[in-house]
Amino acid sequence: MQMQACAPIGVFDSGSGGLTVAYQLHKILPSENIIYVGDLQRMPYGPRNPGEIIKFMQQFLNFFKLKKVKMAVFACNTMTSWGFDAAAGREPYYLVPMNTAVAEAVAVSPHKKIGVIATEATVRKNFHSDVAAELDKDIQVIARACPEFVPLIEGGHIDDMAIETVVRRYMAMFSADKIEALILGCTHYPIIKDLLKKYLPSYVTLVDPALSTAEAARNILEQNKLINDDRQKGSLEFFFSAMPEHAGEMVKIVMGIDNPVISGIDLSKFN
């Protein structure tokens, strides 16, 4: 692959959840130029069928090809679980999947009892359970879909009664399971992690795969001598297919960036 270290890194998700990954990436690789793309027009992806998920994933990847990225980071578990294998090796740049973080969760679970919360599509694909089974057959994974979270978070409910009521209901489903760690298997969920903690026993460790995913991206860049060693701070560009004001608000909340420039994008054109 012919790539330049100064080329940007694409980061993508169905909406603003992937900003949790972009944040970690920007933190550990501050000189990298990042192009973030969120499909707020067609989110949530969780209830969609595999064909649609793969088609939409390809549109992001086609856009990144035009942008001449050196790498694209799947900041979405739903697209990773259904689309990553199909995309691997087919683009002229490196692809980084969302990490399942199963190993990280097992490390903090003495009885190997792990909970996972994710979208319906990710749970249906057994994304985390399959990795756990391969790692160690004694790991018990209890994966549950939380379909109401993403529409609420993208509706601006990140710290109010509407989201808290649903958090309480979903976390209560784990009360008899005695899980020791809970993997946040959707990139939107770290945005509400304080609320999730509030409704879980204190011995449950929340595991957010965003940092280990960003670290995996850094490793690939290092191995291939593609780290941008420009002393300057990297640029951050944001593209969203709808709701630019909400997107700007989420960039501020998740990444701490005031008044980000948000550009529009029609992903359906990138077939």
- Exactly one of 73, 76, 118, 204 is catalytic; which is it? 76
Tell me how far apart the alpha carbons of residues 196 and 240 are, in angstroms, rounded to a whole number. 27
Q: Minimum CB separation from ligand DGL for residue 113, in Å?
A: 23
- Residue 21 tokens read as 């990954």
What's the gap between Cα 106 and its chain centre?
A: 20
CA atoms within 13 Å, Cβ hemisphere of 266: 2
Q: Minimum CB separation from ligand DGL for residue 211, in Å?
A: 15
**In terms of CB distance, is 73 or 150 closer to ligand DGL?**
150
Can you point out the beta strands (E) in the chain? 9-13, 34-38, 71-74, 94-96, 113-118, 140-145, 181-184, 205-207, 236-240, 262-264
Classify the C-alpha dihedral 80-83-85-91 as positive or negative: negative
- Exactly one of 37, 186, 206, 211 is catalytic; which is it? 186
Tell me how far apart the alpha carbons of residues 104 and 107 are, in angstroms, rounded to a whole number. 5
Q: What angle do CA 192, 180, 27 make, to 5 degrees?
A: 45
186 part of the active site: yes
C-beta separation of 143 from 185 below 8 A: yes
Residues interacting with ligand DGL, by CB under 6 A? Answer: 13-15, 17, 43-46, 76-78, 119, 122, 150, 186-188
Q: Minimum CB separation from ligand DGL for residue 202, in Å?
A: 26
Q: Minimum CB separation from ligand DGL for residue 75, in Å?
A: 7
Instruction: Name the amino acid, one letter, at 71.
Output: M
Across the beta sheet with 34-38, the strand order is 94-96, 71-74, 9-13, 34-38, 236-240, 262-264
Q: What angle do CA 227, 230, 232 make, to 5 degrees?
A: 130
Q: Minimum CB separation from ligand DGL for residue 83, in Å?
A: 11
Q: Minimum CB separation from ligand DGL for residue 20, in Å?
A: 9
> Which amino acids are annotated catalytic?
76, 186
